[in-house]
Amino acid sequence: MSEAVPRPEAENPDDGEVLHYPRDGGNDGPIVVANEFVDVVVRKVQTRNGVRLEIFSPKHNTCVRFDAVALDCLSYQEPEFITSLLARSPAP
C-alpha cells in the first residue's frame, strides 16, 4: 500500500467470504451502484439500537458502516473532499 490510510479493519468481511446479494433489495437494499470503473453494494444494517448504512466493495473486499450522523456529515462535503480521499488511496 502507498500513502493510503489503513483499511477500516473492524467492518471488513473475512478474507474469502463471498457475499451473495439479490439485485433488487427494495428499500432496505442491497442496492448495486456501478459505473464502468467500479461497483459497490449498499444496504441498511440493523443494529440492536439503530440502523447504519453499509457500503461494501466486492472489488477491494472492504466495507464501512455509516450511522446517521456520519452520513449527515457526508451530505455537506464538497466534491473536493472525495477527490482528496482518492488522492490518498486511488487503488487498489
Partner 1 sequence: MATDSAGTRTEAGLEGIRDGIAQGRFPAHVFNDREIFDTEQRRVFSKAWCFLAHESEIPNRGDYVTRYIADNNLIVARAESGEIHASLNMCRHRGNMMCKSEMGNASHFRCSYHGWVYKNSGELVGVPYMKEGYGGRIDKRDWGLVKVRTDTYAGLVFGTLDPDAPTLEEYLGGFQFYLDLYLKQGSSGSEVHGPPDHWVTETDWKIAAENFSGDGYHTPVAHQFGFNLGYFASSGSTHSQGWAASIPGKGHGIGLGHTPGFPPFAGFPEELAEEMRSSLSPEQVEVFSQTRTAVGTVFPNLSFLMQPFSIVPGEAGVRFVTMRLYHPIGPGRTEMYSWCLVPKDASDEYKQEAYRAYTLAFAQAGTFEQDDLENWARVTRSAGSTMARNIEFPYVMGMDSTPDPDFPGPGHVVTPYVNDSNFRNLWSRWSEYMTGRV
**Which residues here bind partner 1, judged by CB under 8 A?**
2-3, 35-38, 79, 82-84, 86-92
Q: How far is the CB of 86 from partner 1 (least distance, A)?
A: 5
Q: How far is the CB of 7 from partner 1 (least distance, A)?
A: 15
Q: How far is the CB of 62 from partner 1 (least distance, A)?
A: 15
**Spatial contact of 84 and 34, defined as CB atoms under 8 Å apart:** no
> Exposed, middle or buried: residue 63 (CB in 10 Å: 0-12, 13-18, 19+)?
buried
Report, in angstroms and rounded to the nearest whole number, the Rg of the chain calculated over CA atoms. Answer: 14
| Angstrom distance (rounded) from CA 33 to CA 39 | 6
Identity of the residue, 70 or 86, whose beta carbon is nearer to partner 1 in the bound complex: 86
Identity of the residue, 8 or 90, whose beta carbon is nearer to partner 1 in the bound complex: 90
**Spatial contact of 13 and 61, defined as CB atoms under 8 Å apart:** yes
Identity of the residue, 72 or 81, whose beta carbon is nearer to partner 1 in the bound complex: 81
